[in-house]
Structures are given as structure tokens and as C-alpha cells.
């Protein structure tokens, strides 16, 4: 399956270290050779780099590794195709506008019976189950919320229920962001780590690279990284639960909703 990488930070931060680890899994240490992409938010805008080739061999990926774009929210994906051809239009992340915000989405997993999902005005460009599920999510949210709610908690509660519906169709691990919030949902594998003072060293699993975050940060920095599998071997990553939705804002976890427990207790 594909792999995901996301970041939420309280100050503009580059993701070069974590992305360098992910790149190796795109054709060198992993089988994810069918494309890759990454989206950086800058204020209300975002910039996306994509390439429908193996990340480890991509010159565009090399540029992103070496060019320290600083952002408070990042969504990235490396692809192992199972739905849709290997093509640029099927390469994650996908971005759409809703409520005057750019929403970016990446998915790991495989869904069945997804063709009938009602997408409304959010028409998929490619053929993947991922893009169609994203369009369906936005359509459902727009039906329930004509405007971005004053209390976003209500939006997140609905989103948790919608993600649980998609989980019934197969494996649905997700990253979703509007640049302010980074929303994660786990079916099988998602791990997260929050780095804050006192910072230490971290060593990549997939490459012989070590970084001393104390030299790269200030005492006030808070950075959360989300990945399908841990990217470092000397830090304590937290594995998310099945059916768990977590919301991060500027590095901090706001709250978590475990959908399966919620459904059982209903």
C-alpha cells in the first residue's frame, strides 16, 4: 500500500528531514514506485509538487529535499497503485476548495464499491478510489455545513462519522488539511510524534542521516509529524487506534475521536 506523511507546526518549519526518509521508501527501501506528491501551506495558499514516478528517482523530489520550504502544515504521499493508472491525475495529494479554504487530502488503503459514492459538484479528475472518497467527504460536509462552523468541533464529529463509513468499504487511512488543521484518521497504520523542548537527536530508519533538533529549533517550537510507519529508530512514536480521528492545530493535538468506541456506545 501507499505511505503517508504529514506535519503540523506552530511556526513555519521545513520537513526536509522527514521527507528524506519517506523518499527512500519510494523505490529504494520500499515498493512505492508509482508516484509521489507533497503540499505545503503558506497562509491561505498552498503549493504542490507531484511526479508520477518513483520518488527515490525523481528530480523534483530531490529539489524538495534540498529546498527548505517552511510551512505550518504539510501533506505528503508516496504511491503504490491499486486503483487507477500510474498518471499525474491519480497522484496524491488532491486539493479542492470548500468554504473559501483549500483542502488537501491523501489516502492510504484500498476501498471497494466506491464508484457509487455521491460526489455532487466535487467531480474527480482521475480514477482512484482515494480521490472519489475525498470528493464524497467534501460533498457530505458541504450538505451539512453551508459555511465553516464557528465551533469546528461539530465539523470534526461529523467527519469522524463519515470516515467510519468509508472504513466499512476497506482500508482508509487519511490525512486532510486546510492549512490550519491537520486531520488524521486511522484504519490500520498511522503513527505520530510530537517534538518539543528539550529537543534531541533523531536518526532515520531508511537512510544514514541523523539530525540534532536542538540546533534547528527554538525552545518554543512544537512540531508534530504523522507517518504510516515511524521514520526514525531512536524516538517513541505513538500508534493510532483503529477508527481514531485526531485533529492537530499548529503542532498541538486538539482532541481525538475514536469512532468505533463511539459507535459501540451509541
Q: Which of 257, 255, 248 is nearest to 195 (CA)?
A: 248
Residue 111's alpha-carbon distances to 10, 107, 115, 117, 199, in angstroms, are 34, 10, 10, 11, 39
Active site members: 2
Helix, strand, or coil (residue 176): strand
Tell me phi and psi for residue 73, to 5 degrees.
-150, 130
Q: Which of 50, 116, 62 is nearest to 87 (CA)?
A: 50
Contact of 78 with 27, CB cutoff 8 Å: no
User: Residue 216 is placed in which grid cell?
Assistant: 534547528
User: Residue 121 is placed in which grid cell?
Assistant: 459538484
Helix, strand, or coil (residue 147): coil
Alpha helices (runs of H) in the chain, residue ranges in sequence order? 16-25, 59-66, 129-144, 152-167, 259-265
Q: Nearest 10 degrees: CA dihedral of 207, 11, 258, 4? A: -30
Contact of 136 with 143, CB cutoff 8 Å: no
Amino acid at each position: 500500500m501507499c505511505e503517508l506523511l504529514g506535519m503540523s507546526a506552530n511556526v513555519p518549519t521545513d520537513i526536509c528531514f522527514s521527507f528524506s526518509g519517506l523518499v527512500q521508501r519510494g523505490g529504494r527501501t520500499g515498493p512505492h514506485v508509482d508516484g509521489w506528491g507533497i503540499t505545503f501551506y503558506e497562509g491561505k495558499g498552498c503549493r504542490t509538487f507531484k511526479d508520477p514516478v518513483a520518488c527515490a528517482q525523481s528530480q523534483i523530489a530531490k529539489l524538495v529535499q534540498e529546498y527548505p520550504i517552511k510551512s505550518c502544515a504539510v501533506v505528503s504521499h508516496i504511491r503504490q497503485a491499486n486503483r487507477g493508472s500510474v498518471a499525474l491525475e491519480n497522484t496524491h495529494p488532491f486539493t479542492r476548495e470548500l468554504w473559501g479554504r483549500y483542502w488537501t487530502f491523501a489516502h492510504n488503503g484500498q476501498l471497494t464499491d466506491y464508484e457509487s459514492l455521491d460526489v455532487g459538484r466535487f467531480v474527480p479528475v482521475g480514477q482512484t478510489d482515494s480521490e472519489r472518497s475525498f470528493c464524497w467527504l467534501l460533498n457530505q460536509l458541504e450538505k451539512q455545513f453551508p459555511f465553516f462552523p464557528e465551533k469546528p468541533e461539530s465539523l470534526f464529529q461529523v467527519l469522524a462519522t463519515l470516515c467510519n463509513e468509508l472504513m466499512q468499504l476497506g482500508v482508509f487511512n487519511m490525512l486532510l488539511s486546510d492549512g490550519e488543521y491537520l486531520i488524521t484518521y486511522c484504519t490500520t497504520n498511522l503513527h505520530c510524534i510530537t517534538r518539543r523542548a528539550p529537543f534531541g537527536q533523531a536518526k532515520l530508519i531508511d537512510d544514514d542521516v541523523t539530525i540534532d533538533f536542538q540546533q534547528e529549533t527554538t525552545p518554543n517550537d512544537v512540531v508534530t509529524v504523522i507517518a504510516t510507519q515511524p521514520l526514525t529508530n531512536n524516538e517513541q512514536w505513538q500508534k493510532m487506534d483503529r477508527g481514531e480521528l485526531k485533529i492537530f492545530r499548529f503542532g498541538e493535538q486538539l482532541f481525538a475521536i475514536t469512532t468505533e468506541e463511539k459507535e459501540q456506545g451509541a
